[in-house]
Amino acid sequence: MSQRYLSRRDFLRLGASGATVAALGLAGFPALSLARSRLDARIVIVGGGSAGATTARYLKQHAPNLRVTLVEPNETYYTCYAGNWYLGGFRELDTLGHGYDRLREEYDIEVVHDRAEELDLAGKRVIPRDHHPIEYDRLVVAPGIDFAWDRVEGMGPEDTEQIPHAWEGGRPFRILREQIEAMDDGGTVIVCPPKEPYRCPPGPYERMALIAHYLKKHKPRTKVLGLDPKDSFSKQALFKQGWEELYGDMIEWVPGSQGGAPDRLSVSDRKVLTDGGDQVHSADVINFIPPQQAGAIARQADLSDDSGWCPVDQETFRSQRHDGVYVIGDAAVAGDMPKSAHTANNQGKLVAATIVGELTGEPTPHFPTVNTCYSLVAPDWAFTIAAVFEHRGGEIREVEGSGGLSPEDEGQAFREIEALYAPGWYESITRDIFG
């Protein structure tokens, strides 16, 4: 593995074991320098998910004397990734929850469990709801996603108890699973994916499969219907192959060009209207995943543009709209990098190294970033997409020939092996994020 980029086979094996970080040189700086050992500055990070928590941890790893404050409203962070495993009935929700004690105790990170109400960028302060304002020397904003309800007809945030999105971890997943468990055999579950860009591009299609996995065991006459505004999606051929092999005609996917795009929802009687309202689809359970945009605090602080997302210098993730601010994770416009947990984790490492280098005057290490994404069609059937990214021509671009997609011509034994890697990847990356 001395070549610059790894083969797909080595990439996936190392990714599952957690060794990809070391193999690609993502640890960042060499041995602790005197300048970094004496570094004293206040870094505030808004948002304690995959991007924000990673940044906090790696800042302290590179420069232990930095004063790092992480502002996150939730005492337990539930990952959205692997949530579909819970919907499929083979993972418990509490195993997807992660606390912040290790970041506090092992890395001496101040964790403030509060919601950031305002970013005073001129005064270099974060203003939480229930705490005193927090001053900073550098600010990292990792707000995740928000939902663009103004683009949804017939449904608003007040309706998510009846029609859950389950696109944020924790309670929304529980609501959806309870609805699936309570429905009668012989009914219909409708899954409505959003238009791009959105968090976790393959997620809705893994969800259709794993809901079908649960239903096949417990309610075998039930149907899963995907009503999609798009005509194609990530890993499409592999998903369709798995759907047909494992579930037959239990899953139906309708693309936008064939009348699949939802036009309006009727919450009270659980209906989705498509094809200009001419087609009415009734369901026992509707999982509507709304269109998305950067988290509200980023938009309020004028870190986003008209797209609803946050433009950044894609080499450093500095905001293109305000100096001294970095925006990372799902909220950032990051070239070819998808909005995924793995890329958010990589961005956090890159920004931690960049900030420390900027404060000390040391050269900032430039290293490639990576993404690995496992998708399960059943607990013993999975496939992956993997990629290496570099900064080229002012944007983040995928390295040609790096990573790749699972081959379509492999049988069940190959899919079982990839399914075995998936939980290891999850345990590895969450340990890297939360300590």
pLDDT tens-digit readout, 190-214: 999 999 999 999 999 999 999 999 9
Packed helices 412-434 and 8-17: angle between N→C axes, nearest 10 degrees: 50
Q: Pairing state of beta strands 325-327 and 251-254?
A: unpaired
Separation of alpha carbons 286 and 1, rounded Å: 47
pLDDT value, residue 33: 72
Q: At 273, give phi and psi (nearest 5°).
A: -100, 130
Structure confidence at residue 365 (pLDDT): 77
Between CA 137 and CA 140 the distance in angstroms is: 10
For residues 376 and 276, which has the higher predicted lDDT (pLDDT)? Answer: 376
Decide if pLDDT at 112 tops 90. Answer: yes
* Mean pLDDT computed over 15-33: 50
Residue the block writes with tokens 């009270």: 268
Top-confidence residue, 32 or 150: 150
Model-wide pTM > 0.75: yes
Taking phi first (over 0 means left), then psi (-120 to 50 degrees means alpha), and beta for anything else, what does residue 214 get?
alpha
Show the tokens assigned to 121.
């960028």
Give start and end residues of each alpha helix (H) in 375-411.
Answer: none
Q: What's the token pair of residue 363?
A: 């050269």
* Residue 200 region by backbone torsions, left for phi larger than 0, else alpha for psi between -120 and 50, else beta: left
Mean pLDDT, all residues of the chain: 93
Structure-token match 């579930």, residue found = 247
* pLDDT on residue 24: 43
Write down all domains in the chain, each with its CATH number in brackets. Answer: 8-147+292-434 (3.50.50.60), 152-288 (3.50.50.60)
Percent of residues, the chain, with pLDDT higher than 90:
88
Q: What is the pLDDT of residue 364?
A: 78
> Can you tell me whether residue 212 is helix, strand or coil?
helix
| CA–CA separation, 345 and 121 (whole Å) | 25
The tens digit of pLDDT for each residue in 114-148 reads: 999 999 999 999 999 999 999 999 999 999 999 99
Q: What is the pLDDT of residue 10?
A: 54
Whether the predicted pLDDT of 252 surpasses 90: yes
Alpha carbon separation from 71 to 110, 116, 131, 302, 346 (Å, rounded): 9, 7, 10, 19, 20
C-alpha to C-alpha distance for 274 and 228, rounded to whole angstroms? 10
Task: Tell me which amino acid residue 366 is.
Answer: H
How far is 249 from 259, CA to CA, in rounded Å? Answer: 19
Find all residues with CB under 8 Å of 38, minimum gap 6, and list them. Answer: 65
- For residue 430 the two structure tokens come to 């969450």
Of residues 368, 371, 356, 363, the one with CA closest to residue 425: 371
Closest CA to 200 of 337, 64, 323: 337
Residue 174 to residue 267: CA distance in whole angstroms: 19
CB 62 within 8 A of CB 359: no
Task: Summarize pLDDT for 378-395 with one digit per residue, the tens.
Answer: 999 999 999 999 999 999
